[in-house]
Structure 1
């Protein structure tokens, strides 16, 4: 057997494997003899068929299997012995494979494309400065959240006359008769310039308007139609009011506090506001932490400047997902994949150089934290903790063990980022929700 490496560029190469008869024939003969001992061929007692007949029946398939096994193990061992880091999987050159004459050839040549990176260097110290953000929730946002909760737990009424914030239930109809539907119109979704038409209405009143101009946000969602029908909602329409629905906000009393947070959690309006603030701050700052961590990753990726084999990786992604994605989709998603791959390479390199390991106990604790977050608003606190081990086991054993490996990787990433943060210069900045949204858009 002869294996040679032909580098085409700094990150792509071909591996060529040459097999002659002496490499594979002993294993093929041994497998054919094993078949002969077990074969049940018509006209012969079990295991008594002539070896020549068995070879004729099974020889080619045995040859193919043995050569494929040899190729797989030999290629694997060869690539493991290299100093560079293999990306994706080796891609067999299909053109060569299609030309093989398995029945008559004695010598075989195989070729595989590979993509790799080498000499990955990740340098970071106090000269590397990044900004870490903490979000402060303003009073107006808290007030809006409390108002939403009061409406959520409020009482539904049916007033005689409509006002801002009501829902109008009624029939919308195109004046040319091309469209008709009964639905509930939230006046909060009506554009400010058109809103006055919908204020002061009573049951049975009829107004005319153009839905495409009067209703803001997602017209299809508001009216309850498919996206393909939106074009029908342009022009002159009538709306007949059948009913007016209004939610009276719940009073800020103990009954309301208990409904929102459970019995005996808060006992005053001040404590209620503080708890809302704490929960909102925690939720927003989880998002902010993810954002800040991604910025650190971006900085390290940019500094490492890893030269990925783009052409090879796109071909590998397409062939690995053949029939599931188009080449256009691969091209479109590649930048996201490339960023994730670059970070994985960097994270593994930092972990290896600094003996950072994700332990089993860390995986268990992170899984528990994830499950608690998922059930945070379910009110199942005590019941959840008593069954936590079962939830953790079910999750980590799911998806054929991939859930465990994904959580293991997540733990390592957390540890790597924590290590990096200790070594670099971090500027802390407190920001508002509007500022955070602006950062996300940019």
Structure 2
């Protein structure tokens, strides 16, 4: 018996109706982003192996798919595999996000781009994930980035545009959690963690939602017991503030609220920046979207340098979007730092939360032809309808017309007309609604 032929594990096929709904949602996102002055670009799905493994992608570098070098001989393959030297096997890889390709794109085309470049990228990326709901090996990201703007205006634009995109999709009750890497590093230094341990400590703090404050402190003890106890005391003070509204996201983005959960003098530049961000966003977000300070927000990508943010939604167990400032990343390609900040919507998680209406489009009609209809006449009728702006499908008459009509209706066609031999003029067609 033939075995079912399924797509590769962690990847999916989309039937026409699913594809139409996804494109409808992507069209909404694109429209909002373009209205905010962003321009869409496209980059290759592959990048150089060395670029994808430059130490900036965090754990995602470990999840990247590599592409074997062309013409590699079996004995060289075996030797490299035995030595564990992946770079001897691969020279390219599938992109694991859209930020690394964007920075390479900007470095390549800087002379052709404006001093402050606002980009849209909506495209698939690939990671060797352990497949589960909301986590796939191929998935779409919808990114906007601003390169060349060092001031707070970039964060304000990104958060405003993204929040309006989420609202336009009908996704209510979103909370944008905000932090600053300067606050995180300042907090670690205040608690006594040595600078060389900060990245390792942040990896542990990023597990807070999985292992809880007690688990975080116990793991941090392996780095520095005394420092772990001090940061445990800070976390104990943060938790009630986060839960002040009962949702775990309750710290307003004001100087008083931010300073109220941090030790005195910690990262005053980061605190001032977030307070100014909160003031700039006051009254500028659509209904159903709020912004809050979360000092426990880390984000795992190693390239963030300042503001970081994530979108939380009660219907999802994971964030449905995120981003931050990555001022040092473009400089890896140019030899000089260029300010940059980006925000990505996790499209697969967002679309799972939406009850999208059926996409609207041109009037869709089906022509059902008798077996003896001359193809030239049928095509003339179709061409005339297409020129009038209709979407047209040709079908052959079947014995079981009930099944055929049901399938046509399910595919989004609203009207049908029978075509008999000799018909070649639109005036001869009699359309009827499929719902009749």
Q: Same fold (TM over 0.5)?
A: no
Q: Which has more helix, going by share of residues?
A: 1
**TM-score, normalized by length of structure 1?**
0.18
Greater radius of gyration (CA): 1
Tell me: higher relative CO, structure 1 or 2? Use CA pairs within 8 A at least 6 residues apart.
1
